Chains A and B, each alone.
Chain A
Amino acid sequence: MRTLSHLRRLKTTLVPEFHSWCKLQAPNAAGKQLPRIYVTRRIPPDGMKILSQSGLCSIEQWDSDEPVPRSELLAKVAGIRGLYCLLTEKIDAEVLDAAGPSLQVVSTMSVGYDHVSLEELKKRGIRLGYTPDVLTEAVAELTVALLLATSRRLLEAVHEAKNGGWGTWKPLWMCGYGLTDSTVGILGLGRIGAAVTARLKPFGVKRFLYADTGPRPDMATKIPAEFVPLEELARHSDFIVVCCALTPETQGICGNGLFSLMKDTAIFINTSRGGVVNQEDLYQALVNGQIAAAGLDVTEPEPLPTDHPLFKLKNCVILPHIASATVATRNAMAALAASNLLAGLQGKAMGKEVPL
């Protein structure tokens, strides 16, 4: 066991040597010693093709559109070298223990990795691949779609068109809030946050603000966006868009403290992770008119039970976590996750690796 963990530490620094080592362990022509990987779901074809045509691994898979049951996962990971998972699987000490010391790489088909215990991976010298960049455009696009659907009351309007509420054209019926001359506040000016601002700009936004762990001049200068404390973002924004990662620091950061400072005409949009928002506080803010409306693509839990109070609100739009949901993007994510996994198996540099 100690020898193996030493080797694992060595491998992350001596990649070329490890590559040769890997070749010694590599499959013979009959594929008898192919490292085993487990894929936790039926994945889009571009990803599956890369894995199955690589000749680098033997694949076991939960070949279903439904998530793998926990007990099945724990049983199947025993002795695997690589794990290909989705954001629906919690990769914690329990799973890693069940896998055992053979596991050297986890590859998630997502940009978020809040479902993975980084500490536990680091302890065991396991590498982690993820899928940033390939999904940035689709996510930014859906974020803007959700913002507009919320601010211009599209879902309410669709409903009125169906239920007889649509009379003739009336000057003040179904009016919403426009982006022209507005101030937009981004919580988390990363890749997705910056891509959102690029898409919002031609709608006539007057000012972009952002809050983050620190200034991000690399992203902010070309927009341009001003770095401000969260309280100031709350006070001055007509639209707040949450694009940050879920970490211990951002857990519940959008709560009564934020909502009570916001304008009562403001729109709140979250497409990051449900855990960033205190949902109870959001409900109160909407019911009490502290903010005008909210749009969420992510909730806690997912799915949100159909009897949740947020569903009773006309001014709350809830989408079922579809931000990256285009066929092209999901295939690109699947392919990148597959490449990351294979690179990890071979001890090579991954396309996109989370530094641990």
Chain B
Amino acid sequence: MYPCSCSIQQWDSDEPIPRSELLAGVAGKHGLLCLLSDRIDKEVLDAAGSNLKVISTLSVGVDHLALEEIKKRGIRVGYTPDILTDATAELSVALLLATCRRLPEAVEEVKNGGWTTWKPLWMCGYGLSGSTVGIIGLGRIGQAVARRLKPFGVKKFLYTGSHPKPESAVEFQADFVPLAKLAEESDFVVVTCSLTPDTKGMCNKDFFSQMKKTSVFINTSRGAVVNQEDLYQALVSGQIVAAGLDVTTPEPLPTDNPFLSLKNCVILPHIGSATYATRSAMSVLSANNLLAGLKGESMPSEFQL
């Protein structure tokens, strides 16, 4: 037990807090510790009232927070970058490899008797050796992904984003290119940008139509960066060879969603940062962010509004 400078009210469940509970629970509170599954919008902020001075989220993404409304009210925001970079980049690469080397398909064949014997051209996938990798969003996670992909024999890194980042790119000799060029030239596209009004729906049918037929598309950022219907069409029509998604719209995907029955699409249930060590570190950081905010001190990780 640790000494605490606040009195705590908690939705003490593994299940998400119902909206009505949230609206009732925030009334009069000075601090709010939330998850990415809690939409903190004007309604919640109004329900909280004028005591609220700090919101601390257990995530690096802040797209679930109404940032303008929060800024207007002078509320501070804490989040959890950096400490989840390794785990998320690791999962992004794990997903890329599982997709291009067809692991879930292969496991399925093993279980249903489709594995008869070693065959030269059975279950062949696409390797990273000699490939061009395009990173959409060369931020902390994007760089960590590139670093992990490098020794697999990637020949060229490309990246795109709101502006070039030469200091980050030099490690990979990555070229800053327009989105269309990244689509045309990449064998692997990895999306690691944040979800903003500019990136919403950015990966759409124009994008997929420009990609190579042998290319693999990986998204571990936020579901809404992708136009999901367009991606589905691209996969069934063979515009791209395969996709791997750790994030979708909505989350969870309903079990009858057609994506879940595509052989060339691997869907993970948003486990990017899911290692014991990382989730532990995230909870400690978000708690410390919150306490610092309550005391009016500087936070270990404050999101600049």
Contacts and interface: CB of A to CB of B under 8 A. Distances in A.
Partners in one complex: yes
Interface of A: 41-44, 65-67, 86-88, 109, 137-138, 141-142, 144-146, 148-149, 152-155, 157-158, 160-180, 198-199, 201-204, 302-304, 306, 311, 317-322, 325-330, 333-334
Given A171-B35, A175-B274, A178-B86, A145 B121 contact: no
B66 interface: no
A138 B127 CA distance: 7
B117 interface: yes
Nearest to A109: B120
A304 B110 contact: yes
B20 interface: no
Interface string B181-223: 0000000000000000000000000000000000000000000
Contacts of B111: 306, 311
A311 B129 CA distance: 32
Contacts of A318: 107, 110
Interface stretch (B90-98, B132-140, B159-167, B294-302): B90-98
Contacts of A160: 269
B126 interface: yes
Interface in B215-255: 251-253, 255
Interface in B266-298: 266-271, 274-279, 282-283
Interface of B: 14-16, 35-37, 58, 86-87, 90-91, 93-95, 97-98, 101-104, 106-107, 109-113, 115-129, 147-148, 150-153, 251-253, 255, 260, 266-271, 274-279, 282-283
Contacts of A157: 268-269, 271
Majority DSSP secondary structure for residues of A touching B: loop
24 contacts: A86-B120, A138-B127, A141-B128, A142-B101, A145-B94, A145-B101, A152-B94, A152-B274, A154-B104, A155-B107, A160-B269, A162-B267, A166-B252, A168-B15, A169-B37, A171-B279, A172-B276, A176-B271, A198-B151, A202-B147, A306-B110, A321-B118, A326-B129, A330-B124
A320 B86 contact: no
Given A198-B151, A304-B110, A175 B276 contact: yes
Contacts of B260: 161-162
Contacts of A145: 94, 97-98, 101, 103
Nearest to B109: A320
Contacts of A330: 120-121, 124
Contacts of A44: 120-121
B97 A161 contact: no
B90 A203 contact: yes
B118 A326 contact: no
B94 A148 contact: yes
Given A145-B98, A166-B253, 7 more contacts: A66-B116, A137-B153, A152-B90, A176-B274, A201-B151, A203-B93, A328-B129
A43 to B, nearest CB: 6
Contacts of A202: 147-148, 150-151
Contact of B103 (A87, A155, A173, A328): A155
A166 B274 CA distance: 14
Given A303-B115, A303-B116, A319-B107, A161 B129 contact: no
Nearest to B13: A170
B115 to A, nearest CB: 4
Contacts of B16: 167-168
B13 to A, nearest CB: 10
A170 B103 contact: no
B279 A326 contact: no
Given A169-B270, A303-B117, A304-B110, A325 B125 contact: yes
A168 B110 contact: no
A152 B278 CA distance: 12
Contacts of A170: 14
A345 B113 CA distance: 39
